[in-house]
Amino acid sequence: MRGIAIAVLTGFAVAAGADEPKVPLGLLPLIFPADNPYTAEKVELGRALFYDTRLSVDSKVSCANCHLPKFAFGDGLMVSEGFQGMTGRRNAPTVINRAYSLAQFWDGRAATLEEQVKGPIENPVEMNHSHDGAIQRLRAVPGYVAWFEKVFGTREFTIDHVAKAVATFERTILSGNSAYDRYKAGDLKAMTSSQVRGMKLFFGKAKCDECHEGINFTSNGFHNLGVGTDKKEPDEGRFEVTKDPKDWGAFKTPTLREIARTAPYMHDGSQKTLEEVVEFYDRGGTPNKNKDPKIFPLRLSPREKKDLVEFLKALNGEGWQHASAPDTLP
């Protein structure tokens, strides 16, 4: 019912039909935009485009350069590398469970996945192409022309069609059926005793669920933890989008699904391990002019810290491993 309610309120439609994508244990039914409904063929087109370097100006960078399956659709780097090895300011967030996400990017500047897909193509540090240039290159590939016609009913496809295909693929990259999900479903042997203690800390003393809530372990909100605010020129985060002083230094709360596989952490990749992340929270973040009041010293014991890390490992799951590169591209 919740998925249906969300669909009605936001113009999204619940996936339906014989080829409806199945979601792993612990997740809600997938919903798709009313103007970009799900089809299996669209997912496959989006998968090809996601892995195709021809979207970049030098045909060397694809979406998958920063979102690799072996890193649970992150890239394992502090900050990502794009066109000619140039680097940006921020760590590549995982694509996993973006179907349940609201605003995209660390600063929330894209309202939808479709809008997010278009950003890196024109970004000079990422793909350094133009939308028109990318489309003309794809239109020169007969296989893509036929594929777009089959999926969208037109041979004169645009950047919006590309974005819709890639976003549809990304909405099927899911993680659920974790040890935590199985434990909650009644399998009391699914988690270790340390993980169970860590779960109680997460939802209790540590109050992690005040920001990392729900089935996707995120409120989709923006918070200032103090990460990087002690630098000479701090990243202003959400403030760059809204220009609202209360958003200075605030960044989107990421999902914790697959968190043990997506190091390093924080928007700048400054925390190398989960142990470092727990220590950061334990000392109450980094003081600054706009630190969120929800961030305060936790004063955890060594065993509590270990248990919390072990619980986070219990959020590794299944459902995204199918989304590997296609054997061939058009």
The conformation of residue 289, written as its DSSP 8-state character, comes to T
Task: Determine the Cα–Cα distance for residues 136 and 34; give it in Å rounded to an integer.
Answer: 27
With a CB cutoff of 8 Å and minimum separation 6, the contacts of 147 are 45, 48, 330
The rounded distance, in Å, linking the Cα atoms of 180 and 264 is 22
Length of the chain: 330
CA distance 226 to 250: 8
- Concatenating the DSSP letter of every residue in 62-127 gives -GGGTSBGGGTTB-SSSS-B-GGG-B-SS-----TTGGG--SBSTT--BSSHHHHHHHHHH-TTTT
User: Does 258 qualify as catalytic in the annotation?
Assistant: no
Helix H, strand E, coil C: the string for 202-237 is HHCCCCHHHCCCCCCCCCCCEECCCCCCCCCCCCCE
Decide: helix, strand or coil at residue 5. helix
Tokens of 124: 């000079």
Q: Per the residue annotation, which of 114, 126, 236, 310 is the catalytic one?
A: 126
Q: How far is CA 263 from CA 55, 76, 149, 275, 276, in A?
A: 27, 6, 40, 11, 11
Residue 265 DSSP label: B
Beta bridge partner(s), residue 13: 32
Active site amino acids = 126
